[in-house]
């Protein structure tokens, strides 16, 4: 099963400048770290799962059953970065590490509670308006939501986010052809394998610590994943629509021995005539990721609508409405019951879900994300998918500090 994304600007960064006034015997270490910034976050939650069942539709790491009915340190995020500058041949880097239980779900998991989220070299070539490259481990390019919940409209992730890749090991190029259009494309080892995994796979491409091949380690055969993204931005001349974006992309995941998975994504953000209200829409389609000897040409898709309302200066309401369905699979896409909780739902059957998420966010403290959230999942097939129930509810509170 694949769990399934990004650049997280911080409101407050600390610039390291160890060099002081430049002198002839400036140390090598000082030269290397000059211009580096440190940023990150601490993310925590409290969650309560009312009712007799203990499962929800699977959405990712921070709403897994292990988080229910108690307190959670989701992760500590530490980010080091030297951004590109305006020079024609600019260079930099980014390192982003996660510590905590959520880290175990990332493709870059190295040990329990520790993972490399991103680590890449950034380069700029003086081609046209500037051609930027990332080489290394980087976040997936598609998706409306990011892996770090504190930058998303909601704490819980969408059903669409679950069927997207998390990250890739490869090379990515970005070119801003004009102020209104940006093009992104690249190649990577695999769409869903752990960091540095190459084709062919000799083991199931699941995430988590200890997911290493059994027996001889496979030798890569050159089968790669290819990705592309186009982002359009509305110009200022479009009035209240100025700043709105339309994004379309795909990730074609080459896989040895069977059909490669492919993800299609489309997303839009729409300002409205009411400055306090913003709309968003996202569509995800994934084909073949669950193919096996039993079911071929499997697929899953998800549609989400977002409404963000700035009620007053420090109070915001974010609402997400979702629909998702899938073909028959060997294990299941979103409905993954815990052992002993398969009641009415036949594991791997087609799925059809509806969900509503409401998030109330209030800015009480500087640099702190504080919010309350309620998530309701509905099994539209009425298979009693959630441990004998067609409905499931999860209550959450998040406190995250961004530095």
**Any domain includes 7:** no
pLDDT of residue 249: 97
Handedness of CA 213, 142, 292, 323 (dihedral sign): positive
Residues in the chain: 403
pLDDT of residue 177: 95
What are the distances in angstroms from CA 141 to CA 135, 229, 250, 276, 326? Answer: 14, 7, 9, 28, 23
SS3 51: coil
SS3 66: helix
For 238, residues 6+ apart whose C-beta sits below 8 A from its C-beta are 244
pTM: 0.86
Give the closest residue to 138 by CA, choosing from 255, 31, 251.
251
pLDDT of residue 7: 29
pLDDT of residue 331: 84
pLDDT of residue 338: 80
Give the closest residue to 328 by CA, choosing from 294, 284, 379, 378.
294
**Any domain includes 227:** yes
**Any domain includes 3:** no
pLDDT of residue 32: 54
Question: Could you give the CA distance from residue 4 to residue 107 in angstroms, rounded to a whole number?
Answer: 10
pLDDT of residue 383: 86
SS3 103: helix
Instruction: Read off the tokens for 125.
Output: 């070539």
**Any domain includes 8:** no
What are the distances in angstroms from CA 6 to CA 117, 153, 198, 382, 388? Answer: 10, 15, 22, 36, 37
SS3 32: helix
Q: How many structural domains comprise the chain?
A: 1
DSSP code of residue 153? S
Question: Could you give the CA distance from residue 27 to residue 33 in angstroms, rounded to a whole number?
Answer: 10
Question: Could you give the CA distance from residue 253 to residue 367 in angstroms, rounded to a whole number?
Answer: 38
Burial 335-361 (b: 16+ CB within 10 A, else e): bbbeeebbbbbeebbbbbbbbebbbeb
pLDDT of residue 288: 84
pLDDT of residue 147: 94
**Any domain includes 376:** yes
Along the chain (403 residues), what's the average pLDDT of each consecutive run of 10 residues?
33 31 42 80 96 82 93 97 91 97 94 96 95 97 96 97 95 96 95 82 45 55 91 92 95 75 95 95 91 76 98 96 94 84 79 97 94 97 86 96 96
**Any domain includes 246:** yes
Distance of CA 163 to the CA centre of its chain: 10
Backbone angles phi, psi at 220, to 5 degrees: -60, 140
| Radius of gyration of the chain measured on its C-alpha atoms | 22
**Any domain includes 132:** yes
pLDDT of residue 87: 83
Question: Could you give the CA distance from residue 295 to residue 298 in angstroms, rounded to a whole number?
Answer: 7
Structural domain of 118:
14-402
For 24, residues 6+ apart whose C-beta sits below 8 A from its C-beta are none
Check which CATH number belongs to the domain holding 86 and give it. 2.40.160.10
Task: List % helix, strand, coil for the chain (3-state, nearest 5).
Answer: 5, 45, 50
pLDDT of residue 289: 77
| Cβ–Cβ under 8 Å, residues 384 and 390 | yes
**Any domain includes 2:** no
| Cβ–Cβ under 8 Å, residues 342 and 361 | no
Per DSSP, helices labelled H in 12-80 are 28-33
């Amino acid at each position: 099963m694949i769990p399934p994304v990004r650049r997280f600007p911080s409101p407050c960064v600390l610039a390291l400048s160890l060099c002081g006034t430049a002198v002839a015997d400036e140390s090598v270490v000082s030269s290397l770290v000059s211009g580096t910034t440190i940023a990150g976050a601490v993310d925590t939650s409290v969650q309560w799962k009312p009712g007799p069942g203990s499962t929800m539709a699977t959405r990712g790491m921070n709403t897994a059953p292990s988080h229910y009915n108690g307190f959670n340190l989701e992760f500590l995020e530490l980010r080091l970065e030297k951004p590109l500058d305006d020079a024609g041949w600019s260079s930099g880097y980014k390192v982003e590490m996660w510590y905590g239980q959520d880290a175990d779900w990332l493709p870059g998991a190295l040990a329990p509670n520790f993972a490399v989220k991103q680590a890449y070299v950034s380069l700029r070539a003086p081609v046209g308006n500037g051609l930027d490259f990332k080489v290394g481990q980087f976040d997936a390019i598609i998706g409306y939501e990011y892996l770090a919940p504190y930058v998303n409209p909601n704490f819980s992730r969408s059903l669409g986010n679950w069927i997207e890749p998390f990250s890739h090991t490869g090379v990515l190029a970005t070119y801003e052809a004009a102020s209104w259009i940006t093009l992104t494309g690249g190649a990577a080892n695999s769409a869903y394998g752990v960091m540095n995994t190459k084709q062919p796979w000799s083991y199931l491409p699941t995430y988590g610590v200890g997911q290493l091949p059994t027996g001889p380690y496979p030798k890569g055969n050159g089968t790669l994943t290819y990705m592309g993204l186009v982002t359009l931005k509305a110009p200022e001349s479009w009035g209240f629509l100025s700043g709105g974006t339309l994004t379309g992309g795909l990730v074609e995941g080459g896989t040895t021995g069977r059909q490669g998975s492919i993800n299609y994504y489309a997303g839009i953000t729409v300002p409205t005539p009411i400055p306090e209200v913003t709309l968003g829409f996202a569509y995800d389609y994934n084909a073949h990721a669950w193919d096996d000897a039993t079911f071929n040409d499997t697929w899953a898709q998800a549609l989400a609508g977002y409404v963000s309302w700035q009620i007053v200066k420090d109070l915001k309401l974010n609402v997400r409405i979702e629909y998702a369905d899938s073909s028959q699979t060997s294990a299941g896409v979103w409905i993954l019951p815990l052992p002993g909780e398969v009641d009415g739902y036949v594991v791997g059957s087609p799925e059809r879900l509806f969900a509503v998420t409401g998030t109330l966010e209030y800015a009480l403290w500087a640099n702190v994300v504080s919010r309350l959230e309620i998530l309701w999942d509905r099994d539209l097939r009425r298979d009693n998918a959630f441990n004998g129930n067609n409905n499931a509810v999860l209550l959450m509170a998040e406190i995250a500090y961004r530095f």
